[in-house]
Amino acid sequence: MKTVSDIPDFKGKKVLLRTDFDVPILTNDQRLMTSNKLQIAETFRIHKQKPMIDYLLDGGAKVVMVSHISAVNSFKPILPQLESLLNRPIHLEAKLPSGSLASGLTLLDNIRRWPGEKENSNEFAKQLGTGFDFYINNAFAVCHRRHASISAIVKFLPSYAGLLTEEETENLNKVINSSKESKIIIIGGAKAETKIPVIKNLIDKSEKIILGGVVANDIFKERGMDIDDSLADKNSKELFVGLDIYDSRLVLADDFNAPGGKILDIGPASISKFIDLIGQAKMVIWNGPMGLFENSDYAKGTYEIAKALANLNSFRVIGGGDTITAVNRLGILNKFNFVSTGGGAMLAFLAGEKLPGLEALGYY
């Protein structure tokens, strides 16, 4: 896989840079209004893009950033905050540049406004790449998508992995290839269909896998436990095909914070059990909260795990939007060895799947 270090000189070059600014926006009841502009709820992904942007601009390149955003239709309401976080003025462009670039830094507005993006259209990718010298993918978090600005674009421009994409693959490979002894995986949250493949791929490559959230509920249900109205997947039996749900390496909670019988967090005995286990680990990988941490009444399990991990000397990797948000609320994000920007992409990579964005760059 070619990386930006393989490009000798950016001076005067036009660079199409795939970034990841798909950030959450504060909801109406939480919204902080500043001059009628919306407020970004979590800025981690934006901060992670800054080194690549600075590297290119300081090297004399003209840069057009391409990204999507799901929470709103346009980047316009959050543009002032983007400029503040990146410490640079940004020209927001609603039309494809077609080789006509403003000096400095440009952001093409929400790339998913064009139907050709999600269709992975070659024609659209060709139009998108017109007039550029290089394409750089610095958006690992969307590499599991087969979209035009991630996949088809490489057919029309010399293409390279950005600093962040390179960093992500190196650290996640370290997780996969490290010795199974004293390696603990923690899987929580929802979206069991993305979590169970990770469990299947890593169960023989780790010592224990600690489970919380919906995945744990699914196993409890399949084992015949009455989980009442707790959130679970209807097709969990299909998801678990090929996995022994009674495998002793799968570690589940023994007690719960379950008002009215609905499991919303792990209980105090389980918190202690999980912390004891991770305290003996040399490597810990965590994706997904232990419960409904957004409600402070059910955040204890997630927060206690986070604080315990922050104080370990082991190699600790976390990822997933909810996990990052929870850890960031405690102000301890900098205590971890690596924080992945990828949610779905991180899980797909750890599950052993080929990511289209990396495949396009010649990674495999």
Binding-site entries for ATP: 195, 294, 320-323
Whether residue 264 contacts residue 227, with contact meaning beta carbons closer than 8 Å, is answered with: no
Which residues neighbour 331 within 8 Å (Cβ) at sequence distance 6 or greater? none
Closest residue by Cα to residue 20 from 134, 125, 133, 147:
147
Binding-site sequence positions: 195, 294, 320-323
Query: What tokens were used for 361?
Result: 């760059």
Contact 286, 316 (CB under 8 A): yes
- Cα(260)–Cα(241) distance, integer angstroms: 31
Residue 242 near residue 272 (C-beta atoms within 8 A): no
Other beta carbons within 10 angstroms of residue 200's beta carbon come to 16
Q: Which secondary structure element, helix H or strand E, spans residue 302, and what is its range?
A: helix 300-310
Give the chain's end-to-end CA distance (angstroms, integer).
Answer: 8
Rounded-to-integer distance, Cα 347 and Cα 355, Å: 10
Nearest to 288 by CA among 222, 180, 216, 183: 216
Token pair listed for 315: 């190699």
Q: Provide the residue type at 281 as one letter.
A: A
CB 281 within 8 A of CB 184: yes
Question: Do residues 241 and 200 lie in contact, with contact meaning Cβ atoms separated by under 8 Å?
Answer: no
